[in-house]
Chain A
Amino acid sequence: MKDFGSIVAVVLLLAAVPLVTHSNVVLNFMVVALMTALFGQGWNILGGYGGQYSFGHAAFFGTGAYVTAVLQVRYGINAWFAFGFGIAGGALVGAVIGALTFRSGLRGSHFALVTLAFAEVLRIVASVAPMTGAGVGTLIKLDLRPIAFQFQSRAVFYWIVLLLVAVALLTTRLIERSRFGAWLVAVRENEDAAKALGVDVAAVKLGAMVISATITAAAGCFYVQYFLFVDSAIAYGTWISIEALLTPIIGGVGTVFGPLVGALVTKGLGETAQALAGDAPGLDLVAYGVVLVLVIAFLPRGLSRAGERLLRSRVLPRGEAGHG
């Protein structure tokens, strides 16, 4: 139960933020940070727990965003339903890509490359297809009513994205404790040994991919409702794929809170960089790149694990010397 207790505590703490501050700047920062955490949480299921490093998670984010936007704008479907379809669309794309790549046994850098390629293909198609608005993108009409999933108050958006993050945190924890999670981690550690123990590696990877895609797509759907605009560079650009992997890696791959910690840190870093350098584009990403390299070099398990280790070495007694 303590596993879930920590999640509840963190969520409650975060939920209090809009009650403590009315600054739109802070709220906006937190909304974006939580959204970033959300797509990082998606990546973390496949990459952190499953060990399959995707470089093309934008494929799911963008699909969620576009489906949500296009259904509303072109087909007049209610925003909430469109949101749901967006998530389903992302999950479907995940299932297709997963089925193609994992049945072929692709892993490691080949897998990273192929996911990158899929995201690029989607980006190119979206940049020319009339349905997505081609180069111009798709704009959702401003309609500040709850039924249109648009809210006057930023705080409501914040609580919605927090809810999504909370669901993702719970999902991650449940996976950790489940049979599927044990199998997933086994696949990450050693595929052959896992096979010999009865794990259907391809099926497990596919399952992880679909869950991962679903969570990431939800972030995309939220993005488009919050910003009311999407185009191919935003939806399927490499920046998403990079941030999706950056946040869990910095915060702690394969941990429940890693993506959240990572998102807060990277976004905080980005804001600081922008503040120091004015609005020149690129500096925040430079900072991200530097942090990524430093984290890999010195803290390969990410910040949470480093924190955990620090805690354990101070608080717990030394392990007994058993026979091995």
Chain B
Amino acid sequence: MFSPAILIAAIVNGLLTGALYALVALGLTLIYGVLHIINFAHGALLTLAMFGAFFAYRTLGLDPYLAVLALAPAFFVLGYALQRFVIGPAAHGDDRNILLVTLGLAVIIENALLFAFRADTRTIDVPYAFDSFNLGFTFVALPRAVGFFALFVAASALWLLMSFTDIGRAIRAVAKEKLGAELAGIDVAHVYAVTFGLGTAFVAIAACLLMPSYYVNPSAGNAFILIAFTIVVLGGMGSVPGALIGGLIIGVVESLSSLFLGESLGQIGIFLIFIGVLLVRPNGLFGAWE
């Protein structure tokens, strides 16, 4: 039906897009793995970061790939503050309340952006947006390739952080056994906030990498967030390798579904996978069997 060249291009494209999805999912799965909450504000934070990258380019002339150096730390602080001073205290530890508080934050952020910037879609025009290079069997857009590369850099940095730093060890301890970690003297509220901050920082990185090839409007984050959830659930909540591999798989699935079913229905493939995984194997590929 479709020539091999088209299929290969779709798959490669899917992998590249999947890498960006995986970057978004990485933050989400980290937050889930440690705080055991589903951060419904993740998408809105992504949108916020994308607007940040947009304005950094428009007003300061900062290329997104440079803006990330400022946005990532800024969003780390934002995430830290949100968890430490808003989500943590408001939820009183009840899971259902945490869901609602993060949902509330999502509504606030997204609609504040809508109110401030209207619903118009904006893009930035970086000079290299349409550069591509030839891999031999297919062409690859430069910004996409950078995104793919960045995913692995980010994931490696995260692994290094978790394995070799004190805070990384503290995070792992809290993720595994919160009470024990607390008894050992670890400040759990701080660790939670750091984790949330890291997750938010990853979102900022993803946003900067997305801007050259995407657009932003107040609901842009939403498009990514359900996909990110799907990846997190598919890969196993809390599993970083799961998020990476899940992201790539989902990217390819979306690309192929769009090819066979058309653009608008392409996303359905993802959601059907999502529902299927939740019903059949809620712990995902890398989680334990129920």
B218 touches A110 (CB 8 A): no
Smallest Cβ-Cβ distance to A242: which chain B residue: B107
- Bound together, the chains give a CA A209 to CA B275 distance in angstroms of 18
A125 in the interface, Cβ–Cβ < 8 Å? yes
Chain B nearest CB from A265 CB (Å) reads 15
Complex interface: stretch among B59-67, B110-118, B146-154: B110-118
Given contacts A128-B264, A286-B115, contact A300 B97 (CB under 8 A): yes
B86 to chain A: which residues have CB within 8 Å?
Answer: 293
B279 touches A101 (CB 8 A): yes
Smallest Cβ-Cβ distance to B38: which chain A residue: A109
Complex interface: stretch among A2-10, A166-174, A193-201, A274-282: A274-282
A288 in the interface, Cβ–Cβ < 8 Å? yes
B108 touches A114 (CB 8 A): no
B108 touches A113 (CB 8 A): no
- Bound together, the chains give a CA A245 to CA B104 distance in angstroms of 11
B103 to chain A: which residues have CB within 8 Å?
Answer: 55, 242, 292
Given contacts A114-B279, A116-B226, A127-B264, contact A297 B115 (CB under 8 A): no
- Bound together, the chains give a CA A286 to CA B113 distance in angstroms of 10
Give the contacting residue for A296; candidates B104, B106, B233; CB below 8 A. Answer: B104
Q: Which residues from 104 to 129 on chain A have a C-beta closer than 8 Å to any C-beta of chain B?
A: 104, 106, 108-110, 112-114, 116-118, 120-121, 124-125, 127-128
B271 touches A280 (CB 8 A): no
A289 touches B104 (CB 8 A): yes
Q: Which residues from 265 to 290 on chain B have a C-beta closer than 8 Å to any C-beta of chain A?
A: 265, 267-268, 271-272, 274-275, 278-280, 282
A283 touches B226 (CB 8 A): no
Q: Which residues from 83 to 116 on chain B have a C-beta closer than 8 Å to any C-beta of chain A?
A: 86, 89-92, 94-97, 99-101, 103-108, 110-115
- Bound together, the chains give a CA A120 to CA B267 distance in angstroms of 10
Q: Is the interface of A mostly helix, strand, loop or mixed?
A: helix
A144 in the interface, Cβ–Cβ < 8 Å? no
Q: Is the interface of B mostly helix, strand, loop or mixed?
A: helix
Given contacts A112-B99, A114-B278, A118-B275, contact A285 B107 (CB under 8 A): yes
B75 in the interface, Cβ–Cβ < 8 Å? no
- Bound together, the chains give a CA A106 to CA B278 distance in angstroms of 8
A12 in the interface, Cβ–Cβ < 8 Å? no
A53 touches B111 (CB 8 A): no
B222 in the interface, Cβ–Cβ < 8 Å? yes
Given contacts A282-B112, A282-B218, A292-B100, contact A121 B268 (CB under 8 A): yes
Smallest Cβ-Cβ distance to A52: which chain B residue: B96
Q: Chain B residues in contact with chain A, CB under 8 A?
A: 37-38, 40, 86, 89-92, 94-97, 99-101, 103-108, 110-115, 118-119, 218, 222, 226, 229-230, 233, 262, 264-265, 267-268, 271-272, 274-275, 278-280, 282
What are 15 A-B contacts defined by CB distance under 8 Å?
Answer: A101-B279, A109-B37, A112-B99, A113-B274, A114-B274, A245-B100, A281-B115, A281-B118, A282-B113, A286-B107, A288-B107, A292-B101, A292-B104, A296-B101, A296-B104
Give me the 5 closest cross-chain CB pairs, A-B, nearest first.
A282-B114, A289-B107, A289-B108, A297-B90, A282-B115
Q: Chain A residues in contact with chain B, CB under 8 A?
A: 51, 53, 55, 100-101, 104, 106, 108-110, 112-114, 116-118, 120-121, 124-125, 127-128, 238, 242, 245, 249, 277, 280-286, 288-290, 292-293, 296-297, 300
Q: Apart from A109-B37, A117-B278, A289-B108, what 17 extra A-B contacts exist at CB < 8 Å?
A: A53-B99, A106-B282, A110-B233, A117-B230, A121-B272, A124-B267, A281-B115, A281-B119, A282-B115, A285-B107, A286-B112, A290-B108, A293-B86, A293-B90, A293-B108, A296-B101, A297-B90
